Amino acid sequence: MEPNLIQQLINATEKAANIARVCRSNEALLKLLVQEKTGPEANARFEHDFKTLADVLIQETIKRDIAAVFPAMRDAIKGEESPNFTNADGESTVIVVGETAEETAQCLAAILNVEAAEVLAGEVHRDVAYEEALLGEIPVLPKDLDYSNLGIWIDPIDGTAEYISGDSIFTDFPGITSTGLDCVTVLVGVYERTTGIPVIGVVSQPFHNKLDENVYRSLVFWGVCLPDLQANNCQFERPARENRLGIFSSSENGDILQHIMELGYEFAFAAGAGHKALKVITWEVDLYLLSKGSTFKWDTCAPQAILRSLGGDIFSYRGSISECKPIPLSYLEEDEEKENTKCNKDGLVAVRDVSLMDDLLTNLAG
């Protein structure tokens, strides 16, 4: 049987979740592995930005696993992180996933003790098949699908600050966490290279269900939106609410929040772009709006593909206002090269119900 790209991506996110949990379960290991991002790698929104070995190792593992099964995609699998890593003791190496666990452990041993390197290498090379009942039925992809025209954006751990701190703060709205491990997601999005349209998305919450101390189970969401195939496991019912509910970054512009409030929205504030987009996917909120250019292609590709499979989308905030119509985010590679940026520089608006954009554009344009 031909390998199914959706199932392979789901398996890859579960392996990513395992690596994230192993790194997170050992406080001494986590402290050793954290490196502050500097220069062009840092996100200007945050005073401190971090990357962890978990980020880098997850990204390189997903790239290797998917390229091994779908070699036509090998050169178009991209991620947030540089594979160059320096640990807290100043020891530096390039993270390379080898052909065997022994090779990977040897690479990791340059910055870790031997025991930790072997444990992580074991997770990297373990066969993982995520087949939870909640996944739903994974569809067979079209036989004529051109894999050489597909690219991938990976965010190995979205919400790294939350991943490191682990401290949870809850909002006034049931089920919506402001900060904490619940805000952490693994994002893998597939887009068409010729059109820039996102077509397959997988979003995993590695710390969704706490079973015991440092023992968690993932929850995985997926969607596919091709011309002749739309499917997902996100058939949540839209709840009855007195007011619409929007989710925002705590740093969102006050004037914009005032405009949104005038449209009858209540506010929730939360960390993690992937987490906030996921709340739109699950109908827990109606809207995710970010006016600043502080998200990137790897943050939005996966959830946008899922939203498109549901009839929703993620639009450019300023681009839509400028054109007076919804303009979807695009992943055209020529645009990235031309503008020398992978940033969603004009902000974003994520909705499941595209008709909500009419009132938004009318109000915000004024």
Catalytic residue positions, numbered: 55, 80, 155, 157-158, 160, 299
CB contact at 8 A, 140 and 82: no
Sequence-ordered strand ranges (E) for 80-184: 84-86, 92-94, 150-158, 169-170, 177-179
Helices marked H in the chain — which ranges?
5-25, 27-33, 53-69, 101-108, 114-124, 160-165, 254-262, 273-281, 297-309, 317-323, 333-339, 356-365
Nearby residues of 265 by Cβ (< 8 Å), 6 or more positions away: 243, 244, 245, 246, 286, 287
Count CB-CB contacts under 10 A for residue 275. 26
Which amino acid, residue 312? G
What's the per-residue H, E or C state across 241-297? CCCEEEEECCCCCHHHHHHHHHCCEEEEECCCHHHHHHHHHCCCCCEEEECCCCCEH
**Nearest CA-CA partner of 269 in 286, 283, 251:** 251
Phi and psi at residue 121, in whole multiples of 5°? Answer: -65, -35
- Kindly provide the b/e burial profile for residues 124-161, where b requires at least 16 CB atoms within 10 angstroms of the residue's own CB: bbeeeebeeeebeebeebeeeeeeeebbbbbbbbbbbb
Q: Is 172 helix (H, G, I), strand (E, B) or coil?
A: coil
Q: φ, ψ for residue 241 (rounded to 5)? A: -130, 145
Whether 264 contacts 243, CB under 8 Å: yes
Phi and psi of 201, rounded to 5°?
-140, 140
The answer to whether 202 and 220 are in contact (CB under 8 A) is: yes
